[in-house]
Structure 1
Amino acid sequence: MFDITTLWKAPVVNPVNRKARSIPGLNPINVYGRVFFFAWFGFFVAFWSWYAFPPLLTLTIAKDLKLTQVDIANSNIIALVATLLVRFVAGPMCDLYGPRYTFAGCLLVGSIPTVLAGAVTNAKGLLALRFFVGILGGSFVPCQVWSTGFFDKNIVGTSNSFTAGFGNSGGGVTYFLMPAIFDSLVHQSGLSAHKAWRVAFVVPFIIIVAVTVTMLLVCPDTPTGKWSERHLAAQQNLAEHGITADVVEVPGEINANKSSSPESGSPSRDPDAKIEYDVTGDRKGSFDHEAQIGEQQMLDVARGEIVRKPTFKEAMPVIFSMQTLVTCGCYFCTFGAELSINSILGAYYLKNFKALGQTGSGRWAAMFGLLNVVCRPAGGLLSDAIYARTGVWGKKYLVHTYSVITGAFEIAIGLTNSHDKSTMFGLIAGMAFFLEGANGAIFSLVPHVHPFANGIVSGATGGIGNLGGIIFAIIFRYMGTDYEKSIWIIGVITIVINLSLSWIRPIPKGQIGGH
């Protein structure tokens, strides 16, 4: 039963990795609450800047730069290409250097092209700029890896879905913010449209830099301290609980293959016995007390869930495993659809409801992104609730259920192509509920798949999600303004892919951690 006090009181922690078993989201003083805030808010400002162009692109920027419909479509595609590349790189970087520094790197590097928007004078310049602004989209991977590193398996689906959902809402908020900033600069500051849309991009740049610097100053890499010392902390925590198993071979590499033999464990105790230790606080005050778990479970956490240094030899089997294929394939459909539809939704509304104008269509299009605040967390919450009753298989089937219903809504939107506002907006909201909920459920499942290489799995899943966005954006590109036809095609693809992946085990047979 949910205890509302967990929203502000210091959480119970896992005794091995110090991950929290609740989310003190209303307590920024607590280290877990602080990291939770900066994980979602950092991604929020990144998403805002990443999608700052579409709200002004169809009319204002297109008129100023003399863009064609093809130029606009190409810019939406190119905006996803850099993100695809960055996400694949960001995953291993998270495992190597830690998610906090990877996160900060994505934000700072991506903020530079954001502030250079004023230098764009033609379609080619717009393509180049949107490519480099796409670096910001790569911040999703460290956002999720950082969240996974601070919250335990019982609550990780909720934490990941809230951080991603609140962050993704930046794609909706930008439809309010950018037109509002633009209108203010034109009507109150007296700038011409030519200058106003350029100056508007300075605002997200300033906020991104401020958030990044603050994040680096007030947040740690892991609950146990420095990223480079995470394995030593796990070994020390085991030793403090009287468990002398050798789980660390060399710095950074966890030996997941050693058995719990009498020589390597603590044979005098029942391995399933519950161990209770009252803790008044660690040296940094980051936790109040520990959860009660069995000795064997503690060993499994240390051997199977402490992130290893990525090597090419270890990364390839992880990337090409059937389990990673499931998360990648499902995210290809859901997040790919979200990205591509988010780019054209304002234009689609403007086509069917011309009276709305640029600002009005933008505000209604914002609904799609803003629903992430509710729908994506709902997927994570439901996933964690099902996991508590059924285990990891329940999480997997929830993903497929959400995704297939999403595909059905996409087909309905495309085939009806409604010119009635209530019908159109209702169908889009229904699609958003299941599509964004599926995104939350997918990244609730990801931490269970090869947890010793969580950055690699997260990067691959996030990258393939972006690839889906590119493929679907290409469909929109060649369909021109037949947006409805593209949407039902995406729906068919979504259903077919999910049904074909539904039979695969959620966790590799024999895997130690992640259960």
Structure 2
Amino acid sequence: MYNPMLLFKAPMVNPINLKAESIPALNVVNMYGRVWFFSWFGFLIAFWSWYAFPPLLSVTISKDLGMTTTDVLNSNIVGLLATLLVRLIAGPACDKFGPRLTFVGCLLIGAVPTFLAGTCYTIGQLMACRFFVGILGGSFVPCQVWSTGFFDKPIVGTSNAFIAGFGNSGGGITYFLMPAIFDSLVRRQGLTPHVAWRVTFVVPGICIVAVAIAMLLLTDDTPTGKWADRHQAAQRNLQAHGIQETIVDAPTGILAKEDDSSRSGSSSPPAVDEKTLEAGQRRPSKYADHEAPLSEQSMLDTARGEIVVKPTMKEMMHIIITPQTLVCGAAYFCTFGGELAINSILGKYYLRNFPRLGQTGSGNWAAMFGLLNVVFRPIGGLVSDYIYNKTGGSVWAKKYWIAFLCVGTGVFQIVIGVLDTRHQPTLIGLVAGMAFFMDAGNGALFAYVPHVYPQANGVVSGFTGAFGNLGGIICAVIFRYIGTDYAKSFWIIGILTIAMNLPGLLIKPFPKGQIAGR
């Protein structure tokens, strides 16, 4: 039975990589609690700014810049292009520089075009601005990699799902915040709509910079310290537990320095005083009171297979083209990709079917689609971790859960497209049903991703995240070329979703020869 006190207490940790076995979500004094908070809050702020345009684009910005429906849809596609590229770069960057610094970099770079949004006076300038604002969407990759680095296998799915779910809710919050800020500037400050929408973008810009600075000052790279020291820390923790074997996957530079030192007759100070380690004795670490029980072989597997290494280009390409990574990409292509595209047009779809709602009313109902991430995405991760633990660590169970959710997403999309109902409660209910399967699918997927290549989690996460954006672009192109017949676009995307995910059931969950992640 789950103990609510775990939300406050310092967690038990893996003795080798010091990853937490529970989530102290309500304890921001604790290192793990701080990282968990800033992971989701940083992504929420980024998502808010990334999707700050659509709530005002339907009426205000379109009218001010003389944009057609086609121009709006084209700008939605452009807004996803930079994110696709940034996510591909962010994955390897996480493995090289660490997810924390990569996260902060995405936020600070993305803040610049956010502040400059108000300087757009032509459609071309708006397109360029939306492209560069898309950098903020790349922050999803370091957000998930950072979480994976702090929370261990039995709980990582829940952690990633809650973080992403809370973060993705920024796509719904923006539909409330941007119109509300705009309306306040017009009605209370007396600004014209032409000026007000430009000033509105200053607010998310300030929030992004503030959160990025706080992350730099208040959080850590890894549970063991600096990113560059992670391999040495794992080696020290092995020695502290009486295990003298060398980590085979540590970067060659580290091992070479150790070999050179021993050959030259000099040696660096041992991490552990061997005189204090008698046969079978373990020297307690500073986390001794919070160490989870782990067998010697499990400790070795953790150190050898789960300590992130800097992959070469050849290794990255091999990882990307393996079937397991492609399965992750295909699933996220349909779930998150569909979500991105639908987020961009849902307000206009509601406005077309229910004109009486107006810009603010349709935006508020469209916001509910994004806000459901707060509940539904965590469910995907929670169930995934539950079935994983109940089946004795079966990753197959996680894969079946993902496939079920993806197929369910496709079914709801087909139903929405076929009915194209003008009955408001019915359409909103169907969209909510689709959101459950779609959001839970996102959460379940990133409960599975850490198992695929733990030693190159950034590469897998970056590729998967980028494929989600590619899905968003393809789905946005479908909406773009079919035009205002949104229903037809929905059922086409539904068929695509089912067709892309069923074949993945035939693929084994682990790459050949993998020693960790199970």
Q: Is the 8 A contact 1:278 1:290 kept in 2?
A: no
Aligned amino acid, residue 372 of structure 1: N
Q: Structure 1 residue 463 and structure 2 residue 505: aligned?
A: no
CA distance in 2, matches of 1:249, 1:336: 34
| 1:85 partner letter | L
Please say if residues 157 and 384 of structure 1, whose CA atoms lie closer than 8 Å, have aligned partners that are also in contact. yes
Check the 8 A contact 1:276/1:292 in 2, yes or no.
Answer: no
| 1:350 matched residue in structure 2 | 351
* 1:163–1:288 distance in 2 versus 1, CA, 3 Å: farther
Question: What is the CA–CA distance in structure 1 between the aligned matches of 2:117 and 2:73, rounded to whole Å?
Answer: 18
Question: Are the equivalent residues in 1 in contact too, given 2:90–2:138 (CA < 8 A)?
Answer: yes
1:58 to 1:231, Cα distance in 2 relative to 1, 3 A: same
Matching of residue 412 in structure 1 with residue 415 in structure 2:
yes
- Contact 2:182 2:197 survives alignment (8 Å): yes
The answer to whether structure 1 residue 300 and structure 2 residue 282 are counterparts is no
The corresponding residue for 1:322 is 323
Distance 1:98 1:47 in 2: 21
The 5-angstrom pairing of residues 118-267 of structure 1 reads 118-248=118-248, 251=251
Distance apart, 1:509 and its partner CA: 2.8
Partner of 2:426: 423
CA contact (8 A) 1:254 1:303 kept: no
CA gap of 1:484–1:253, structure 2 versus 1, over 3 A, is farther
Matches within 5 A, 1:70-85: 70-85=70-85
Measured in 1, the distance between the counterparts of 2:252 and 2:429 equals 50
Task: Read off the aligned partner of 1:461 and give its amino acid letter.
Answer: T
SS in 2 for 1:293: coil
Q: How many positions carry a matched residue from both structures?
A: 492
State the alpha-carbon separation in 1 of the partners of residues 313 and 439 from structure 2.
33
- Which residue matches 2:451? 448
Tell me by how many angstroms 1:146 deviates: 0.1
Counterpart amino acid of residue 477 in structure 1: R
Normalising by structure 1, we get a TM-score of 0.94
Where 2:222 maps in the other structure, the secondary structure is coil
Match of 2:268 in 1: none
Q: Is the 8 A contact 1:95 1:307 kept in 2?
A: yes
Q: Report the equivalent of 1:270.
A: none
Rounded to whole Å, the distance in 2 between the matches of 1:252 and 1:389 is 39
**AA of the residue aligned to 2:440:** G
Indicate if the aligned counterparts of 1:51 and 1:174 stay in contact, CA closer than 8 A: yes
2:340 paired with 1:339: yes
5+ unaligned residues in a row in structure 2: which ranges?
Answer: 256-279
Q: Say if 1:451 and 1:514, in contact at 8 Å, map to a contact too.
A: yes
Match of 1:263 in 2: none
Question: Aligned in 2, Cα 1:252/1:17: closer, same or farther, shift over 3 Å?
Answer: farther
Deviation of residue 500 (structure 1)?
A: 1.6
Map residues 17-166 of structure 1 onto 2, 5 A cutoff.
Answer: 17-166=17-166
CA distance in 1, matches of 2:33, 2:168: 19
Aligned-partner Cα distance in 2 for 1:374–1:319: 31
1:239/1:277 Cα in 2 relative to 1: closer, same or farther (>3 Å)? closer
Identity of aligned residues (%): 64
* 2:23 maps to amino acid: I
Contact persistence 1:235–1:248 (CA under 8 A): no
- Consecutive unaligned residues in structure 1, runs of 5 or more: 256-273
**Shift in CA distance, 171/254, structure 1 to aligned 2, threshold 3 Å:** farther
CA distance in 1, matches of 2:17, 2:513: 22
Give the conservation status (yes or no) of the 8 Å contact 1:377–1:440. Answer: yes
Alignment match of 1:487 (pick from 484, 487, 490): 490
> Quick one: which amino acid aligns to residue 517 of structure 2?
G
Counterpart amino acid of residue 494 in structure 1: T
**Are the aligned partners of 1:253 and 1:309 in contact in 2 as well (CA < 8 Å)?**
no
How far off is 1:310 after superposition? 1.9
Describe the SS at the equivalent of 2:506: coil
How far apart in 2 are the matches of 1:120 and 1:204? 17
- In the TM superposition, residue 389 of structure 1 has moved relative to its aligned partner by 2.0
**2:380/2:444 contact within 8 Å kept:** yes
Q: What is the distance in 1 between the residues matched to 2:190 and 2:252?
A: 57
Q: Distance in 1 between the 2:377 and 2:63 partners? A: 35
2:241, 2:284 within 8 Å by CA — same for their partners in 1? no
**Cα distance, 1:118 vs structure 2:** 1.0
Distance 1:468 1:275, change over 3 A: farther
Structure 2 partner of 1:373? 374
Q: Which amino acid aligns with 1:444?
A: A
Counterpart of 1:265?
Answer: none
4+ residue runs over 2 A deviation: 248-255, 274-279
Structure 1 residues 288 and 178, CA, compared in 2 at 3 Å: closer, same or farther? farther
Task: Tell me, yes or no, if the aligned pair for 1:161 and 1:444 is still in contact at 8 Å.
Answer: yes
Deviation at 1:333, TM superposition (A): 0.6
Distance in 1, Cα, partners of 2:406 & 2:359: 31
Could you say what secondary structure the match of 1:29 adopts? coil
With over 3 angstroms needed to count, the CA separation of the structure-2 counterparts of 1:80 and 1:253, relative to structure 1, is farther
In 2, distance between residues paired with 1:207 and 1:335?
25
Contact 1:247/1:254 (<8 A) preserved: no
Instruction: Show CA shifts across 1:457-481 (max 9, x none).
Output: 0000000010000000000000111
1:267 aligned partner? none
Deviation at 1:211, TM superposition (A): 0.3
Corresponding position of 2:399:
396
Q: Secondary structure at the match of 2:22?
A: coil
Partners of 1:247 and 1:491 lie apart in 2 by: 46
* Alpha-carbon distance in 2 for matches of 1:254, 1:65: 57
TM-score by length of 2: 0.93
Equivalent AA in structure 2 for residue 489 of structure 1 = I
Partner SS state of residue 184, structure 1: helix
CA contact (8 A) 1:107 1:209 kept: yes
Is residue 440 of structure 2 the alignment partner of residue 437 of structure 1? yes
For 1:181, give the aligned amino acid.
I
Would you say the 8 A contact 2:249–2:304 is kept in 1? Answer: no
**Residue 508 of structure 1: how far off its partner (Å):** 1.4
Note the C-alpha offset of 1:510. Answer: 2.4
- Asked whether the 8 Å contact 1:40–1:143 carries over to 2, the reply is yes
Cα contact 2:335–2:438 (8 A) shared by 1: yes
